[in-house]
Amino acid sequence: MCGIIGYIGAKPAKQEILQSLQLLEYRGYDSAGLCCFENDKLKLIKKKGKVSTLITACENEFVTAHCGIGHTRWATHGDPSDKNAHPHLSENNNVAIVHNGIIENFESLKGNLQKNGTRFRSETDSEVIAQLLQKSKCESELKKVQELSTLLKGSYAIAILFKELSNQIFAIKKNSPLILGKANDGLYLSSDVNALIGKTSEYYIMQENDIIWIDNQDVYLFDSNLRAKDIEYQPLTLTTQDISRGTFEHYMHKEIMQVPQAIELTMTEFEPMQNPLTRIPAELIKSAEHFSIIGCGTAYNAGNTISYYARQRDIFVDCYYASEYRYEKFLSRKNEVCIFISQSGETADTIEALKKAKEHNIPTIVVTNVASSTLNKLADYILPTKAGPEIAVASTKAYSAQITALYAFIDYVYCIKNGINCRSCILKDKLKDICDKLKSYDLSIIDNIANQLKNIERVFFIGRGVDFATSQEASLKLKEISNIHSEALYAGELKHGTLALIDENTVVIVIATQKELLEKTINSVYEIKARGAKVIMLTQFEVSIDAVDILVSLPQTDQLLMAEVSIYPLQMLAYKTALYKGLDPDKPRNLAKSVTVE
């Protein structure tokens, strides 16, 4: 949610900031802006719309600038507009700020400032930061920045320019990510490491309440009491190849095609010799009586999918949406282990849920795709997924990698609980077989289905058991990027209400990968067809059902792992449907990739 960037160095600031904003755009894309020092003044340009609009507006501007800050916005307070876009200036234009997060007490702060005559230009919570800095009576800019942390409540990563201090940038962070990048000829601040790839060789992840002061090429790090800290940089190993679209028109397409690779690389990570599972003490697993899986959106769906696999191994797992788990009347069960899933590792609801578990001394395991993420820092144990950077807002390869890591985890738990010498190799062979089959899977039938979906009002995904979990993920994917109203249902639940919505304007997509549930699912197919809906069925079984309009044959593999297979064509279906509707699948309406606000 919102991406911020700062640059100071030998290169033109405009070029560095705009390039990085494009890489941060998946965090929000309703408006963007740039403010640089030019001739010792703060010059600002900001525009409603995508970063490309800002690039056009800046074409002949900022020619001599070597220091500045930029922002790409996902609106929380105030509609997407030029005036609500960041950077925000103080009333006297002497302070410029960009902010990612939410200032929860902005109304009272703003009220007080207004009482004293300050005039605001925007409806945002963020503008209050610039105004507070202008009004501060502290003797130095550094102290003014420090004072902010005593005034602001909520979450923030903030980069600041003071007109009086040419070519200097200040930054402060709490509960929102901010990274310092170091190159030979410049320094960067960024909401995430992806925007620094190809620019810097080293980076430092700012810790809670850190304050940074960059004075030309010198950089100073302080804690909240302004005590100096050492900056411990780490190498940045990702390459521009990892974040490029290559020959694909959209990131989402590239990322779906990378699903087999994401599964393989993640599985390799769990090879016995370097097994992150073995870092989780066997004693902890042995004594664990309850496993809770917590996540949001696709990450939650991955947890739900795996709960079916776990049950087959007599391991019982409860799944919670992170935004709800936090407010549960706490279960405080004995011997509980919590597993948090998050592609980004920065989702605010998931982070807060993990903090809540820690408050209750519950051991925490995270499944994340970003090694430098906040969740990785906070958790007791890490199960890394190796999907590589996922840029499209809709999560695809990360989901497949998440369930891969969790299959391995559940097998590990099973072995420990049953005193079996754990060897992930069998699972590895099975997943290798799945990957080979996915790589050669002909998806051409999906194109035809997508073309038919483009004019449909309602789509239901139904399934039983694990196929219901896949239905949830497929439904989320479709609604997220094609804007078609879609819902997932247990196949057996249709007749208890939703059948009322089934008519000839409806498509029902049936997932049937579990042999013992097939017959019952076929009953539902006839019930749907009798109400006039079009039925599309995905299965690996050889069936001939006249009530099915289109049959999508899935590659045959171990039934327990079919979730890894069945989602693949459905991710592609969502992608293709968005294309047929003329929508940008990488940047769906109203959404952003990394949801760093609660």
Footprint on this chain of ligand M6R (rule: CB under 6 A)? 296-299, 342-344, 347, 350, 393-395, 476, 480, 595
- Catalytic residue status for 593: yes
Closest CA to 97 of 31, 42, 140: 42
Closest CA to 144 of 160, 157, 156: 160
Nearer to ligand M6R, 212 or 574 (CB): 574
Beta strands in 436-498 (DSSP E): 458-463, 485-490
- In sequence order, the β-bridge partners of residue 205 are 179
Q: How far is the CB of 390 from ligand M6R (least distance, A)?
A: 8
Q: Which residue has the tokens 């996540």?
A: 295
Return the number of other C-beta atoms located less than 10 Å from residue 31's C-beta: 27
Backbone angles phi, psi at 307, to 5 degrees: -65, -30
Residues 6+ apart with CB under 8 A from 174: 101, 149, 152, 155, 156, 208, 209
Nearer to ligand M6R, 168 or 323 (CB): 323
- In sequence order, the β-bridge partners of residue 460 are 487, 508
Nearer to ligand M6R, 126 or 342 (CB): 342
Q: How far is the CB of 344 from ligand M6R (least distance, A)?
A: 3
Give the span between the Cα atoms of 459 and 486, in whole angstroms.
5
Nearer to ligand M6R, 118 or 298 (CB): 298
Length, in residues, of the chain:
598
Q: Considering the candidates 50, 199, 576, 593, report the single residue annotated as catalytic.
A: 593
Q: How far is the CB of 325 from ligand M6R (least distance, A)?
A: 13
- In sequence order, the β-bridge partners of residue 102 are 155
By the 8 A CB rule, do 469 and 308 touch? yes
Nearer to ligand M6R, 369 or 514 (CB): 369
Q: Considering the candidates 2, 35, 36, 435, report the single residue annotated as catalytic.
A: 2
Return the number of other C-beta atoms located less than 10 Å from residue 314's C-beta: 9
Residue nearest to ligand M6R (CB): 297
Residue 88 φ/ψ region, left for φ over 0, alpha for ψ in the -120 to 50 degree band, beta for the rest: beta
Q: How far is the CB of 573 from ligand M6R (least distance, A)?
A: 14
Residues 6+ apart with CB under 8 A from 404: 262, 263, 266, 267, 385, 431, 564
Cα Dmax for the chain = 80
Q: How far is the CB of 322 from ligand M6R (least distance, A)?
A: 8
Task: Report how far apart the first and last C-alpha atoms of the chain are (Å, whole number).
Answer: 10
Nearer to ligand M6R, 178 or 393 (CB): 393
Nearer to ligand M6R, 297 or 389 (CB): 297
What's the half-sphere exposure (Cβ side, CA atoms, 13 Å) at 450?
Answer: 23
- Catalytic residue status for 2: yes
Q: How far is the CB of 380 from ligand M6R (least distance, A)?
A: 18
Q: How far is the CB of 486 from ligand M6R (least distance, A)?
A: 13
- Catalytically annotated residues: 2, 593
